[in-house]
Amino acid sequence: MSSYFRALRLVNFRNYESATVFFAPGLNVAVGENAQGKTNLLEGISFAISGSSTRTASDSEVVRWGADFARVEGRIARPESDERRIAVGYAPGQKKRITIDGAPERSLADYAAGGAGVRAITFFPDDIRIVKGAPSDRREFLDALLSSLRPAYANAAAEYTKAVQQRNHLLRRIRDGYSSGKTLDTWDRKVAQLGTEVLEGRERALPHLGEHFASSMRDLYGPEKAAVTYSGTATPESYSERLREAQSADVERGTTSVGPHRDDLKLTLGGVDLTVYGSQGQQRLATLGLKFAAREYVRGTVGEDPILLMDDVMSELDERRREYLTEYFLHSAQAVVSTTNLDYFGAGTLGRAKVIRISGGRIESDTTACGNGRSGAAAEFQRTWSQRPDPE
């Protein structure tokens, strides 16, 4: 058995003033009308696990309007060890406060790489941009995945981004006559070293990701061969040299033309580029295929099943695919799937799932839960839950 997310408490998170919800292993279905808080609930779980939002780069967006902080707390059930208590508090303008079993965790990168005791693979409808959007969307997907496995990768990627920005600044100073060209070599050693580390991390992951993507797409889409390949401006071996070769052209343009910040993932189905030619349906399934590939990759790397947080994933799919997904979720360590329509799941499935009803930022799960609902847990949880809702 794998770890799973057992309980969540949201305080001033999005449209939740204060809400507590329990989850079961296996399938959990969060159901509600539009604009009630389903997406926000999934974002809350992911925020608790990774320490940031997967939906926005601006943390202050998650703070409930009119409130001055947001806090999420979680309980992670782990096989053969004690339940882990995690909490992430955020007040705009202040450093985030993360605790694991009450002890402060100072590094967000360490926390995001498994500190919570469980990892999550998320799917939000907007994620279709990974397939149809810009190269930066695909790089972000890859970087987030690799960072969730290794804090060293997260740090190298962040440092690399900064080093490239500084290099660009220096290039413009050289072009405009404020700096001598000699300083560039020193900088380039740093850029090359960090960039090579990023490229190596990506290069290691790609064959596995490609294999899992192909098999996910066979199940989700059909027999046409799907592939994901790395489309790079340099290899780890050649990067340092390519950077040097590009120096004078880069000075002229005032920007760094080679390196992992320029690279892309190429996604194809039957040899056809999905980003350019994919239909909306193909792009949506390919997004899901990438997420399932990420799940397999995480499982293969850490030996544990990540939990799945899937927002409104059943709509726009035909019945055969909905049935496939239902089985997939029932057989995962844990999946939390939101929907406006319970009919997407058969009665037999709902009997084996926990149903969580959401309305206007309120959550009912214990009394209406089918299957694995744990009554009694709520009282125990309320007793032991932190009484102070403010960030430490």
Ligand X SMILES: Nc1ncnc2c1ncn2[C@@H]1O[C@H](COP(=O)(O)OP(=O)(O)O)[C@@H](O)[C@H]1O
Of the ranges 20-28, 33-41, 170-178, 288-296, which one interacts with Mg ion (CB under 5 A)? Answer: 33-41
Question: CA-based Rg of the chain, rounded to a whole angstrom?
Answer: 22
Site membership for Mg ion, residue 39 (CB under 5 A): yes
Smallest gap from residue 38 Cβ to Mg ion (A): 5
| C-alpha–C-alpha distance, residues 2 and 335, integer Å | 12
Per CB under 6 A, 39 contacts ligand X: yes
Q: Please, are residues 212 and 293 in contact by the beta-carbon 8 Å criterion?
A: yes
Q: Does 32 bind ligand X (CB under 6 A)?
A: yes
Binding of residue 14 to ligand X (CB under 6 A): yes
Using alpha carbons, select from 310, 191, 323, 340 the residue that is nearest to residue 262: 191
Is 37 a known ligand-binding residue? Answer: yes
Q: Are strands 70-77 and 264-269 parallel, antiparallel or unpaired?
A: unpaired
- Which structure tokens are listed for 380? 């125990």
Q: How many CA atoms lie within 13 A of 295 on its CB side?
A: 24
- Interaction between residue 65 and ligand X (CB under 6 A): yes
* Piece of the chain touching ligand X by CB under 6 A; list 34-42, 123-131, 184-192, 374-382: 34-42
Q: Which two tokens stand for residue 232?
A: 């790079």
Cβ–Cβ under 8 Å, residues 39 and 358:
no
Task: Report, in Å, the least distance between residue 63 CB and ligand X.
Answer: 6
Nearer to Mg ion, 60 or 315 (CB): 315
Residue 363: what are its φ and ψ, rounded to 5°? -125, 130
Total residues binding ligand X (CB under 6 A): 14
Please indicate if the annotation marks 201 as binding a ligand: no
CA angle 197, 59, 3 (to 5 degrees): 70
- On whether the CB atoms of residues 235 and 196 are closer than 8 A, the answer is no
Binding piece for ligand X, criterion CB under 6 A, among 63-71, 82-90, 128-136, 175-183: 63-71
Min dist. Cβ of residue 391 to ligand X (A)? 16
Known binding residue 38? Answer is yes
Q: Rule CB under 6 A: choose which of 28, 40, 196, 216 binds ligand X.
A: 40
Chain residues in the site for Mg ion (CB under 5 A): 38-39
* Residues in the annotated binding site: 32-39
Chain residues in the site for ligand X (CB under 6 A): 14-15, 32, 34-40, 61, 63-65
